[in-house]
Structure 1
Amino acid sequence: MNTNHLKARMEDYSRFIITLLILSVYFYLGTIITTYLTESDYGALMMGLTTVSMGAAFFFTLRWKKCSQVLQDQESQ
C-alpha cells in the first residue's frame, strides 16, 4: 500500500475512534439518566448501545494499530 494512503487511513481511524468514544459517553450518560433519575425501560438498550459503540472503537483501534505496523515496516525498508 501507498504510505500516503496508510497515513490517511490511520487519520480516518483515529477520527472514528474519537467519535465512537464520545458517542459511548453519551450513551452511558443516557443509561445513568434513564436508570437512576427517571424510571424507564430503556436502560438495557442504552447499555447495549454503549457496549456496541465501545466495541466498534476497539475494532478501529486494532485496525489503526495494524496500519501503524505496516507503515513502520514500509518505512524501515
Structure 2
Amino acid sequence: MKTNAARQVRAKIEDYTRFIYILLALSGFLYIGTLISNHEHHGGTMTIMMSGTFVLLLVSFLFSYKVKKLRSSLEE
C-alpha cells in the first residue's frame, strides 16, 4: 500500500478500536443497570435495556470484524 493509504487505514483501525471500547463499556453499564434494577421495573423496560445491550454488543463485534479485515489488508 502507499504510505498515505496505509496512514488512513491505520487511522481507521485506531478509530474503530476506540469505538469498540466505548461500545463495550456502554453495553456493560446497560447490563449492570438491568441487573441492579431487576425488581423495580416492569418487563417492558427490561426488554428495551437488554435489546440495547445486545445491539451495542453486535455493533462492537462488527467493528471488531472490520478491524481484523483492515489489519489483514494493511499487512499485504
- Give the alignment's TM-score, normalised by structure 2: 0.88
Q: Unpaired segments of 5 or more residues in structure 2?
A: none
Q: Deviations over 1:31-73 (max 9, x none)?
A: 10121xx420211111111000000000000000010000001
- Give the alignment's TM-score, normalised by structure 1: 0.87
Q: Unpaired segments of 5 or more residues in structure 1?
A: none
The aligned length equals 71
% same residue: 37
Range with greater deviation from structure 2 (59-68 or 38-47): 38-47
RMSD: 1.1
User: Could you list the runs of 4 or more consecutive aligned residues of structure 1 that deviate by over 4 angstroms after TM superposition?
Assistant: none
